Amino acid sequence: MHITQLNRECLLHLFSFLDKNSRKSLAETCHQLLEVFQDPSLWCLLNFHSPAELKKNNFLLGPALKYLSICWYSEQVKVCNIEDWMKNNFQKDFCNRHENTVSDFLLEVCNRCPNLLSLTLSGCGHITDDCILLLLKNCPNLKTLKLENCVRITDRTLEAVTLYGGSLQTLHVDFCRNITRTGLERVRERRPLVTLRAERSADMIPDNKPEKKLTLEKASRKLVQL
């Protein structure tokens, strides 16, 4: 029996065992398999392991998407996590090439995937509070939000959780160095039912722009003189 002789239910079951690349390769063999590839029910779960994967045309975004994970564990993550004013020209050029890749992708998720239940972002150094705010507004059913080593995430994201995370049950902000204890306490106070975890976040040294550091140094010198 040829694979195209299988009914649609069997083909969907077969596709469900394949990764994104294998599904795409199989779909390119004939029109019938392409239609199966484009079935929304096949795309309720998406896992990505680098920003480059977000640009591939080997997946489908739609209302069926419930679980999304973008975890970047490459050594290159260290470049993105350096404060902008400390990057050399090579590092800035590297970051500029993909700075908006993840945020642009999440904007598409906001527009196409209103039924998202779980989002995990790890090592996404260019993700901002505004991006998470928009996602919380557009995905009201979100129950799990896990952010790890996202250096641009601040207490503004925690504030957005208290305002728009009505369905949220789990919030992780691990190794997000610009999160503060005050912000965490505000979440605990306003969303007591949310399971909150912030491993190392409030204990890490937050970023300060050079002008802020200079102001702090001057204030310290004045105190010493007194």
Same domain, 27 and 124: no
Residue 205 lies in a domain: no
What tens digit of pLDDT does each residue of 88-132 get? Answer: 665 666 666 667 888 899 999 999 999 999 999 998 888 899 999
Give the separation between CA 162 and CA 160, rounded to whole angstroms: 5
Question: Domain holding 9: CATH number?
Answer: 1.20.1280
SS (H, E, C) 10-55: HHHHHHCCCCHHHHHHHHCCCHHHHHHHCCHHHCCEEEECCHHHHH
**In the predicted structure, residue 218 carries a pLDDT above the cut 60:** no
Same domain, 84 and 184: yes
- Whole-number percent of the chain with pLDDT over 90: 62
Same domain, 85 and 13: no
Q: Residue 89 carries which side chain, given as an amino acid letter?
A: N
Same domain, 185 and 141: yes
Residue 93 lies in a domain: yes
Contacts of 37 (CB under 8 A, 6+ apart): 15, 23, 24, 26, 27, 60
Residue 109 lies in a domain: yes
Residue 154 lies in a domain: yes
Same domain, 51 and 162: yes
Q: Of all helices (H) and strands (E), which one includes residue 112?
A: helix 101-112
Q: Count of domains in the chain?
A: 2
pTM above 0.75, yes or no: yes
Residue 136 lies in a domain: yes
Same domain, 31 and 89: no
Coil, helix or strand at residue 94? helix
Give the separation between CA 192 and CA 214, rounded to whole angstroms: 38
Same domain, 100 and 136: yes
**In the predicted structure, residue 136 carries a pLDDT above the cut 80:** yes
Same domain, 15 and 124: no
Residue 33 lies in a domain: yes
Cβ pair 101, 127 in contact under 8 A: no
Same domain, 91 and 181: yes
**In the predicted structure, residue 37 carries a pLDDT above the cut 60:** yes
In which domain, by residue range, is 73 found? 44-197
Same domain, 61 and 72: yes
Q: Average pLDDT over the chain, rounded to whole? A: 86
Same domain, 67 and 79: yes
Same domain, 30 and 118: no
Residue 144 lies in a domain: yes
Residue 202 lies in a domain: no
38 pLDDT band (50/70/90 cuts)? Answer: very high
Cβ pair 155, 179 in contact under 8 A: yes
CA dihedral 155, 198, 147, 107 (to 10 degrees): -20
C-alpha closest to that of 147 among 182, 184, 186, 188? 184
Q: pLDDT value at position 97?
A: 64
